[in-house]
Structure 1
């Protein structure tokens, strides 16, 4: 018997079905316009763009322009790329334009889909940002879709790391800009540290389309973007503490794998205290519980976490003498991303690599709050439905599941659960051998580098050729994925989320053509393409006959979404395929989330070694466990965001005030108001309201006026006058300070004085904001303990953060007033002395540049096209990669040191 909910869905359809149905007439309208746009010349497409843009800027709604804009864009894509967008792609693009997340399965053409929504919204002239997860995809998508935009008369920009301020400003000035989420966030923070509007690179936040939206807005959103500067070097302390941790025994700490937390027991505290005393980090007679030991305790706890919670080749790898974090969802290296609060340094001490100094936060923003700056936000992914609640709650984004262009023909098998990991791995190797023998391509999904390498060793022993894709092979990622659909290919991959390159059966034609042309530049490209397309079609038919791509996963992830992404690699565009998950009771998810009952069931059933239990109930049970973990992680992110929202409100105030100051031509009124408020505060402090004259602290007021206002005013004589009150003293001080500033303005010149005021205010804001961020970090780290006193930590944080913000603004007024009162024009002698010093410094820099100039490029590098005067010939090396000039030095110590 059908349930009531199931019955109503059958009669009325799901909300998702109704959205699709209501949008189909719009697609039909676009299709009806196709003949009209096919008749246009190439210039006619550009003229149409111009006409649509004029209508958009004239106030016509983009919704009204949508059918014509989409028809124009479809025609441009047909002419430039040979691709005619499917109706399902148009559906998805409409949902993107409406500010939704379009869930499209793998291989449904998300890159082209985004171009339609980007083109329509770029007509307003306010710019569109298309966001992807790495720089390879940024450049690939911009080059590919740039042809479409160019045919339509629009400009395309690429904002990536290392291209220089001018190029980046030009990229953001384009109609459509492709960039990574990290670069967008960092550029926003850097812009709000710039001293003038002209130096800022971004021009606003109109509309963003986020590719792999679940990866960026959920997985990566757990870590804020931080721009920081170094603090004092404490590497010796980390090394000393690291020497203590391996001595700790199992009864010295408790490990909670569910909560990913580790803490010392009382015995552990006593043991550590004794060890630290021996090493001189705690004085004799002192205790870990003393207030003076707070910093030491913090670092000992971080050392314990580094050893017990962070595993090499799973959570991080050591590369070129650096600890590089690995994204647990995508398996990619997060180069440049560091753990905060000394945790990264603790891991560096554990691995025996050079310890980088700790950093002080200069500016920070979470991805949640950065992307909420946009007037309109949209996203694309193959898997968003499981996180629909979070997208709606935090970003106000709806999720629409877009139907596939062709029906899915993939077979998703029930999970197979083995008792031990060894039995599971043996069964998987047998399964891979069977598929390989009939020519079926296999994609083996693993959750960590060491497990992927274990499979590689086993396949090597069996004589099966294979490719391995994990953080170590990061650079060859696109090529390895492109080959994964070839006949008999075996690919072992760590976390296949968000890879951005389709696995096409028979291999990727474009990649094959590129390889052939690179190998033989003299060959006719058209002939090469014809030959390869014929070979590809033959190989594709063989792969289809073998059953399509077989995805074999070695474990379930905490998130169903990541499992679905792996599954979605098979069965693109209606291709046949097969997916299967092999699990064991020793897997992390099974072990942590209750495999005891299942183990008893397996024993009762009397399973033989090597046998597996396969049943839909097992799948349901695992999905419930995953849903619980996802719910808990969502609650954690929601709570973190509530705290960050407090800082975000203050960040918006500071950044908007900063921008107003940069845009203003004359700030004399603001500095005058600041002086008046400082004087008010001084009067209130030293001449309290409703007090008698003999209660006034006139000497204190005189000293404070001299200190803060730079005025040697006869305050004590004024106060001794008969009948004088605090209001009169206030007026005299305001008059004296105004007179002093007027004299300074005359001495400097009006224009110079306005410039000085602007720079002083900006410097003071930046300095005070940095101090404020540090204070808020410290407050965050301790406010949780207020819960023990039955007080809500979030409310406590809000109240204290507001008080700290008020106090910051007060000290800002005092600092600006103080600095303005102390500036004076240089004497002729001082000016000459300063010019001589500057000339000497410039000479030192020039001498140093000659001494430290990078070596001449090798003949081989020059032959390969390297030109030290042309950055575009250098490729895009990382800071720690070898320099492309062939010197053998790291890029940052060679040519990279001079850019």
Structure 2
């Protein structure tokens, strides 16, 4: 049956192929309008936008407008950019408009493809978001494509790091908004920490197109976006917890040094319960009740600090601070701190000053952020291998768009060597060979460290590395009578300096150019054979005014680029070399796809060794011994299609494991996401409500209902009531001094009568406050107290969920499903939070007294830190804009004096040292002593 299916697909094409073919009829309809639109004046073409907007307002669907709108955009792009959409680009645009993923090869013009669906969906006036992987691409694409949108009368905004709220609000108010995934996500989180609707910057989530969709929705989705802020001082709490650990004996806990983990035994649990009860830190009878999840978490961290972490091995105490020691290098790591309360536990153990923990104020995963959009689409060169995940998580179908020209690239089988040393020797030999022929070379590495290793090899072979920050460093790339660089030079890119890297990667198609890049470096920029004329003109003629001289120099650059292109073509096009296989086939395909754009010739080959991570994980030891027996000599490689197939299977296994990790992360986050939506929607309703009196009254009545039911059992006689406890609780909670003990002595009284009297007494207090302070002021006070209380409890709730997540895995040992346990207990914690919200809000409002001035609305926390951990490097991406700032200025904007380290501020470890030595900071003034 499988054979018949394959045969049918060969004859009729797959269902996806048929879907793409079905769009060609609309392409024909768009082409039929081309002559008519060419005849229109600029103003008449622009007027079509207003006509379309009126039709949409009257109920015309976007699908009905697709053909005329796409034809309009194509004509506008021809006039504004000098670029006309190919037929396949129109097909890609239709796929995006349908809320699907368009897989298009590198160099097929994805940036232009997006203009048609963006324009069509912007006609609704609800805003369209175009999402890119970095600030440079967001600004570049917005500037470039705004020529088309502005020509058609639409506005364009761009969201990048460092904008004020006013600038962000203006950018989101535009018809089309470009920005990075991080900025869109953080703005959503920050909006839901505001206290006035007018101060929010986003205006909804209507339609988004995600560029490099595989990078954003797959790779970066492994880690959530987090906004954190410092907690209040809890030194006493950490010290109290710390004091319990020395009281434990060997039988009270278990150590797993291999897994670096600890746990309490049954005897230890009983002992701790007794100690906590005595210290009044236990909120319920059992240590493992959900109310005590935070205490349990900190007890486990304290146990780790005492029993697993050793002073002078894992950390040292210097200057009254606990400083981590790197387990691999043995160096101190000042400024780095363990998370989740572990560093505070070490500080309590060592009796030094305990610094506040950072508390999560808000967080969201990319999966849940992007699923908020009414319509979501994406484009990339590599999505097919992850098609199942896109459909499963996001409901996005991947459709492969045909190339405009046939692909001529030759993909060789992998070469496998025994050792890394042999592999690198073969790579350098191939680079030398290509260099002699004048063939451009792109070498892809999996990490910055591997890039530096290869760079050192090339230096030993007489190559010179250029400085990517020096604009004059590229001059040798354009030198030489034969169109190739005179010198043996190379550039190393590592996805840190996006703007400089975009320029270098654009020129990587020059004859004889050697470029080493990590996977993400320069992504989003085409490698054009002969170089990118537009980028050269922009850079080299930046100071030349419009006029004859500029036109002449532009023409000279274009002629030079064309001549260089012919030399690169004659040498065989771009040669892509992979230094090892990545754990994902998709990343390898991204690297390969940089060669052979728009029908150009090209070549690709991967070099592997049995010492590579992927080969090592999948049993290369046996293969090594077998090859030695077969007599494989040093420097010889195995080349066979079978190896490629075996590697593809190994990669599929790793991809499946990573998919499971992401899916599991999402399952847990979905629990929090349901609660987050309820809280955020409630906040917006509260901010929109002019008077929330009824909400507050309902809360007060619920509190009274709860108080009475706890102290007056159902169908109990008055002599069985806990009137003393009720009277005390009413005094504490409602600030009412009422003779409840005397009420119980009245004949025929029932619990409903008690509730009525309490409600009436509480209502009188609130009415008096309204009469004294005016309804308007009291309405503001109610809103401010309710919002502030909700936020404080929500943050506490997030911390509890984090702690619950860290300990719930142990339930698996008891044959209970950790996810189901997490769902149950998270719901219980949420109910508890809502009950607390009612109690705290009611209690504060019953006690509030105002001075005679307009009350201020509370403000969002001022000290907030966004975080997104790069899943590949483990670095905090959001720390980079400050760390990687231009070397001339400190993070505060003060000019750096090379001779005065006091002016340098915070310097990134890999940033050039501000002293001017030319070394990295970590190898110069930042070297640990």
Q: TM-score, normalised by structure 2?
A: 0.80
Match of 1:855 in 2: none
SS of residue matched to 2:542: helix
Conserved 8 A contact 1:133-1:498: no
State the alpha-carbon separation in 2 of the partners of residues 449 and 382 from structure 1. Answer: 23
Q: Relative contact order (C-alpha < 8 Å, sep 6+): which is higher?
A: 2
Cα-to-partner distance string for 1:240-267 (whole Å, 9 max, x where unaligned): xxxxxxxxxxxx9887xxxxxx54699x
Match of 1:796 in 2: 821
State the alpha-carbon separation in 2 of the partners of residues 450 and 173 from structure 1. Answer: 43
Q: What are the equivalent positions in structure 2 for 1:237-636 lying under 5 Å apart? A: 262-263=259-260, 294-298=300-304, 341=340, 358-464=357-463, 465-471=489-495, 473=497, 476-496=500-520, 499-518=523-542, 524-636=549-661
The verdict on how the C-alpha distance between 1:585 and 1:744 changes in structure 2, with shifts beyond 3 A counting, is: same
Cα-to-partner distance string for 1:609-639 (whole Å, 9 max, x where unaligned): 1000000000000000000000011011111
The verdict on how the C-alpha distance between 1:206 and 1:297 changes in structure 2, with shifts beyond 3 A counting, is: same
State the alpha-carbon separation in 2 of the partners of residues 748 and 879 from structure 1. Answer: 56
Match of 1:205 in 2: 205
Match of 1:188 in 2: 188
State the alpha-carbon separation in 2 of the partners of residues 732 and 793 from structure 1. Answer: 46
Conserved 8 A contact 2:595-2:602: yes
The verdict on how the C-alpha distance between 1:308 and 1:417 changes in structure 2, with shifts beyond 3 A counting, is: farther
The match for 2:895 among 863, 886, 890 is 886
Match of 2:925 in 1: none
State the alpha-carbon separation in 2 of the partners of residues 722 and 344 from structure 1. Answer: 61
Match of 1:163 in 2: 163
TM superposition shift of 1:27: 0.9
Conserved 8 A contact 2:409-2:600: yes
Q: What are the equivalent positions in structure 2 for 1:665-680 lying under 5 Å apart? A: 665-680=690-705
Conserved 8 A contact 2:413-2:644: yes
State the alpha-carbon separation in 1 of the partners of residues 693 and 256 from structure 2. Answer: 61
The verdict on how the C-alpha distance between 1:216 and 1:705 changes in structure 2, with shifts beyond 3 A counting, is: same
TM superposition shift of 1:291: 9.1
Further displaced range: 450-459 or 597-606: 597-606
State the alpha-carbon separation in 1 of the partners of residues 522 and 503 from structure 2. Answer: 15
The verdict on how the C-alpha distance between 1:113 and 1:194 changes in structure 2, with shifts beyond 3 A counting, is: same
Match of 1:18 in 2: 18
Match of 2:105 in 1: 105
Match of 1:851 in 2: none
TM superposition shift of 1:711: 1.6
TM superposition shift of 1:691: 1.2
The match for 1:726 among 748, 751, 767 is 751
Conserved 8 A contact 1:486-1:507: yes
State the alpha-carbon separation in 2 of the partners of residues 60 and 51 from structure 1. Answer: 11
SS of residue matched to 1:407: coil
State the alpha-carbon separation in 1 of the partners of residues 771 and 149 from structure 2. Answer: 55
TM superposition shift of 1:826: 2.3
TM superposition shift of 1:301: 7.0
Conserved 8 A contact 2:440-2:574: yes
TM superposition shift of 1:95: 0.3
TM superposition shift of 1:45: 2.0
TM superposition shift of 1:472: 5.8
Conserved 8 A contact 2:302-2:342: no
The verdict on how the C-alpha distance between 1:343 and 1:810 changes in structure 2, with shifts beyond 3 A counting, is: closer
The verdict on how the C-alpha distance between 1:409 and 1:341 changes in structure 2, with shifts beyond 3 A counting, is: farther
TM superposition shift of 1:446: 1.2
Match of 1:284 in 2: none
Conserved 8 A contact 2:572-2:603: yes
SS of residue matched to 2:541: helix
Match of 1:52 in 2: 52
User: How many positions carry a matched residue from both structures?
Assistant: 784
State the alpha-carbon separation in 1 of the partners of residues 498 and 229 from structure 2. Answer: 28
TM superposition shift of 1:764: 1.1
TM superposition shift of 1:886: 3.2
TM superposition shift of 1:322: 7.0
TM superposition shift of 1:455: 1.5
Conserved 8 A contact 1:496-1:565: no
State the alpha-carbon separation in 2 of the partners of residues 26 and 878 from structure 1. Answer: 53
State the alpha-carbon separation in 2 of the partners of residues 302 and 169 from structure 1. Answer: 48
Conserved 8 A contact 1:212-1:498: no
State the alpha-carbon separation in 2 of the partners of residues 309 and 49 from structure 1. Answer: 60
State the alpha-carbon separation in 1 of the partners of residues 905 and 767 from structure 2. Answer: 53
Further displaced range: 455-464 or 522-531: 522-531
Conserved 8 A contact 1:302-1:342: no
Any stretches of 5+ residues in structure 2 without a counterpart? Answer: 239-254, 264-295, 316-323, 347-353, 464-488, 857-883, 898-902, 908-929
Higher helix fraction (1 or 2): 1
Conserved 8 A contact 2:302-2:345: no
SS of residue matched to 1:9: helix
The verdict on how the C-alpha distance between 1:473 and 1:67 changes in structure 2, with shifts beyond 3 A counting, is: closer
Cα-to-partner distance string for 1:215-238 (whole Å, 9 max, x where unaligned): 111111111111111247999x9x
State the alpha-carbon separation in 2 of the partners of residues 645 and 812 from structure 1. Answer: 23
Conserved 8 A contact 1:497-1:565: no
Match of 2:850 in 1: 825
Any stretches of 5+ residues in structure 1 without a counterpart? Answer: 238-251, 256-261, 267-289, 324-337, 348-354, 836-874, 894-899
Q: What are the equivalent positions in structure 2 for 1:772-783 lying under 5 Å apart? A: 772-783=797-808
1:34 matched to 2:34:
yes
The verdict on how the C-alpha distance between 1:357 and 1:32 changes in structure 2, with shifts beyond 3 A counting, is: farther
Q: TM-score, normalised by structure 1?
A: 0.82
